[in-house]
Amino acid sequence: MAVPSYAGPFERIWYYTFRFICGVILLFLILPVLIIIPLSFNVEPYFSFTSGMLHLDPHAYSLRWYADIVQNGMVEPEAPFGWDYLKDSWNNAQWLHSMRNSFFIGICATLIATTLGTLAALGLSQSNIPYRGVLMGLLISPMIVPLIITAAGMYFFYSGVGLAQTYTGIILAHAALGVPFVVITVTATLVGFDQSLARAGSSLGAPPQTVFFKVIMPLITPGMISGALFAFITSFDEVVAVLFLSGFEQRTIPRQMWAGIREQISPTILAVATILVMISIALLTVLELLRRRSERIRGLSPA
């Protein structure tokens, strides 16, 4: 938005000064993320810029660390590319194993969290629910309680019921951590929901399940998808609960990165981090598109 024509000299100065301050703060926040991207192309096994990189020498840059993602742990990493090479990488590469676990656990936990969180939000949206504030506080408590306490409690409980070091235990733990995000986003969507639409559907003879799937769900879908994406990101980036609950076979990308930092420093971690940043940017872009679509549907912004 341009400076208003009636703005005085001091207003014009503050207009540009405010935007400059906001730009500096934004740069300060994203600079650590921006730094790891060029470092992931370093040909040397260092976590710092070499002289060649600073002088933009093409020989100082390489994709070796991205190749290491699919080669680390292979039985024959130098074998010619082919079906046997892909099979060896898929079965033995440590980073690919962690990625498969992260996506599998994240998707399963997201489905559970979205289902339970949506049902909880629909129940809390009813005005006749007793102790609604207490129930809401209980549901979002995983966001408030320090994660180390939650993870330790899950470990002792899951150890007693045999869910520690299992995929089921980690999925349930990640689902519990993702439910608050779904509850908050769906509840925010239901704030502007016209309950008379559901009553109209019921008065016309539609059963409750038809009213939900044909009337309510299409209007709250943006909130559900936003909550699901937040739950997926939470599961995808979670490391504390995984440290407590996972075994060697259940290690995820954050767990593998943690092990890499402690046991074997390698710029492969920077390459994986760059990929995660790209995934996060894509998910945040989807969230913004969904937010704008939700505003258009609810009449809060022009079509």
pLDDT of 164:
86
Determine whether 204 is exposed, middle or buried from the number of CB atoms within 10 Å of its CB (0-12, 13-18, 19+).
Answer: exposed
What pLDDT score was predicted for residue 298? 60
Residue 110 has what pLDDT?
A: 94
Structure tokens that stand for 149 in this block:
């306490």
Question: Which two three-digit tokens encode residue 72?
Answer: 């680390």
Q: Which residues pair with 61 in a beta bridge?
A: 42
Task: Just give the CATH number of 90-265.
Answer: 1.10.3720.10
Per-residue model confidence (pLDDT) at position 114: 93
Q: What is the pLDDT of residue 2?
A: 65
| pLDDT for the residue 300 | 58
| Model confidence pTM above 0.85 | no
Q: Distance between CA 132 and CA 111 in Å, rounded?
A: 24
The residue ranges of every structural domain in the chain are 9-67, 90-265
Along the chain (303 residues), what's the average pLDDT of each consecutive run of 10 residues?
A: 70 84 90 86 83 86 88 84 86 88 93 92 80 84 88 90 89 92 87 76 82 81 86 88 87 85 77 87 81 68 53
